[in-house]
């Protein structure tokens, strides 16, 4: 084995494994509900080719959106490659279908846990290049989710896993 093309892509392997953590967490919630104080912030690319959201939401959040799974969500279904959920946006129910490849951040603030991913849109540009942060109102009391993608692995006691050290420059 020689050359750059023959290298094992550990960053891709680790990212796929960590997306499995998101899938498993959502599967448990879909089956048993949210335990205790657990709640999720999920930031995803709205411009990913397989993301399915209403035109109204796509116009409001053309690049990325952060949703909160805490109080006002229904019909959470988790598949191998995507999850779907109904959420309340300004007292209006919206159905979202989000591929795991489109997820760029996942956080459970109740236990100070977070993951960040490198997701690309259908044009191949990464989320960091687009520079668009958005938050969706999906928690009770009109709470707006902070952009989970702004978390850093070194702040306080927060357990955010980033893969930057494995990436090629």
10-residue mean pLDDT profile of the chain (169 residues): values are 70 90 96 92 95 93 93 92 92 93 94 85 44 34 34 40 49
What does the DSSP 8-state code read for residue 53? Answer: -
What does the DSSP 8-state code read for residue 43? Answer: E
Strand order in the sheet with 113-116: 64-69, 40-45, 103-108, 113-116, 159-161
Residue 120 pLDDT? 58
Q: In this structure, how many other beta carbons lie within 10 angstroms of the beta carbon of residue 62?
A: 13
Domains in the chain, number: 1
The β-bridge relationship of strands 113-116 and 103-108 is: antiparallel
Strand segments (E) across the chain: 40-45, 64-69, 73-78, 82-89, 92-99, 103-108, 113-116, 159-161
Is this prediction's pTM over 0.75? no
Question: For residues 5-19, b (16+ Cβ closer than 10 Å) or e, as one string?
Answer: eeeeeeeeeebeebb
Residue 145 pLDDT? 38
Q: Is 146 helix (H, G, I), strand (E, B) or coil?
A: coil
Q: In this structure, how many other beta carbons lie within 10 angstroms of the beta carbon of residue 38?
A: 17
CATH of the domain at 86: 2.30.30.220
Residue 119 pLDDT? 61
Question: Residue ranges of the alpha helices (H) in the chain?
Answer: 10-32, 55-60, 127-130
The domain of 23 spans 4-166
Residue 3 pLDDT? 52
Residue 102 pLDDT? 95
- Give the Cα separation of 162 and 9 in Å (integer): 16
């Amino acid at each position: 084995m020689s050359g750059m093309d023959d290298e094992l892509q550990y960053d891709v392997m680790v990212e796929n494994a960590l997306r499995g953590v998101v899938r498993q967490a959502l599967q448990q919630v879909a089956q048993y509900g949210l335990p205790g104080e657990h709640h999720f912030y999920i930031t995803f690319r709205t411009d990913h080719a397989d993301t399915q959201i209403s035109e109204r939401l796509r116009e409001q959040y053309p690049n990325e959106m952060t949703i909160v799974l805490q109080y006002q969500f229904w019909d959470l279904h988790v598949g191998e490659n995507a999850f779907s959920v109904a959420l309340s946006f300004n007292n209006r129910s919206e159905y979202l279908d989000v591929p795991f490849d489109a997820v760029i951040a996942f956080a459970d603030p109740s236990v100070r846990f977070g993951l960040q991913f490198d997701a690309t849109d259908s044009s191949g540009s990464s989320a960091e290049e687009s520079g668009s942060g958005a938050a969706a109102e999906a928690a009770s009391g009109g709470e707006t989710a902070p952009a989970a993608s702004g978390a850093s692995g070194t702040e306080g006691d927060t357990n955010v896993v980033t893969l930057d050290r494995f990436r090629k420059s």
